[in-house]
Amino acid sequence: MTKHAYIKLGLAVLKTEAEAISALSERLDQGFHDACDLVLKCAGRIVVTGMGKSGHIGNKIAATLASTGSPAFFMHSGEASHGDLGMITADDLVIALSNSGETSEITLLLPLLKRIGIPLLALTGNPSSTLARSANIHLDVSVAREACPLGLAPTSSTTATLAMGDALAVAVLEARGFTEEDFALSHPGGNLGRRLLLRVSDIMHTGAAIPLVTAETTLKDTLLEMTTKGLGMAGVIDAATNQLLGIYTDGDLRRTFAKMPDIESALVRDYMTTDCVTIEAEQIASEALKIMHDEKINALMVVDDELTVQGALNMHDLLRAGVV
């Protein structure tokens, strides 16, 4: 096949699947509202089940629900009748996926689910099917045709089912008032988790690692402190209270030498920046990144409400922590 033939076929698949998803919007009616309400009110867990390709889609829907505030897991329909049905409790909700609505492994479970009294939400491509008629709520995910030229491989139908699952999860997410921080709590290993959960106190330099001098320190000794601690700055404090009076940075150093002072005798208090930007230890580390970006600076002193120095950090600390 030529390159253009491949592209033509690929575009045809994408067009067919896009049309399948677009057609779903015409079916978002009271049934979708009731389905969202059923998920939102579930006191237990949401158990998603399906076979074959529907099972793979169900696994993804369960994962999306779980990561957006709705406790959920996937149960293989074939294993359910061989013991896995014991994972379901009376407080749970079952979401069953089947394009035909007649998948034998799922229809076998229907009398048992009714006996336990577990609500059933079905996503099928056949509103007249056994599964659709047995469900408390049915969402129609039928498609005009599969993207497969043979009309056999589940393509448009699985895409439509996945899209409906996403619509359900996101609608419930909004109803729960689910926040970015809530999302981060279930994704602590990801970039978002690091950005939203990591606090300044987790990465700042403390104790002897903080570059500090007093207002009476000479420029020479200030430069030695900056070089030793390696943060590109030194906090200038009141020797008696440990309160921050100002900051002396690499930028201040360049401006200082334009005046040609005697670094052996000149005091840092005469050259420091007094209106320095600071941050508190309990603030989110990503806030430190935003401050540095907005203020065009590379380091921050960490203080409490009384300007007592708690720590220090610079852009390299944020890089190492994966915040940037």
Residue of 302, 305, 315, 304 whose CA lies nearest to 205: 302
Residues 205 and 262 both lie in one domain:
yes
272 contacts 245 by C-beta, under 8 angstroms: yes
User: Do 156 and 214 share a domain, yes or no?
Assistant: no
168 and 286 both lie in a single domain: no
- Domain check: are 223 and 97 in the same one? no
Say which residue the tokens 């047995």 belong to: 134
> Does 189 reside within a domain?
no
Number of structural domains, the chain?
2
In angstroms, the first-to-last Cα distance of the chain is 45
50 touches 102 (CB < 8 A): no
Q: Which residues contact 270 (CB under 8 A, 6 or more apart)?
A: none
pLDDT at 166: 96
The domain of 61 spans: 3-178
- 97 plus 229 within the same structural domain: no
Domain with residue 223: its CATH number is 3.10.580.10
- Can you tell me the distance from the alpha carbon of 103 to that of 98, in angstroms, rounded to the nearest whole number? 6
**215 shares a domain with 307:** yes
Cβ-proximal residues to 53 (8 Å cutoff; 6+ apart), any chain? 154, 158
With respect to residue 192, please indicate whether it lies within any of the assigned structural domains: no
Q: What string of pLDDT tens digits covers the 324 residues of the chain?
A: 777 889 999 999 999 999 999 999 988 999 999 999 999 999 999 999 999 999 999 999 999 998 888 899 999 998 988 878 888 999 999 999 999 999 999 999 999 999 889 999 999 999 999 999 999 999 999 999 998 877 778 899 999 999 999 999 999 988 888 766 656 656 555 556 666 678 899 999 999 999 999 999 999 999 999 999 999 999 999 988 889 999 999 888 888 888 878 888 999 999 999 999 999 999 988 899 999 999 999 999 999 999 999 999 999 999 888 777
pLDDT recorded at residue 271: 92
Place of tokens 């049915």: 138
pLDDT at 191: 59
Angle at 62 between CA 59 and CA 91, to 5 degrees: 130
Consecutive H or E run containing 167:
helix 156-176
Tokens 């070089």: give the residue.
Answer: 227
- Report residue 90 CA to chain centroid gap: 31
Return all residues near 30 (Cβ < 8 A) that are at least 6 apart: none
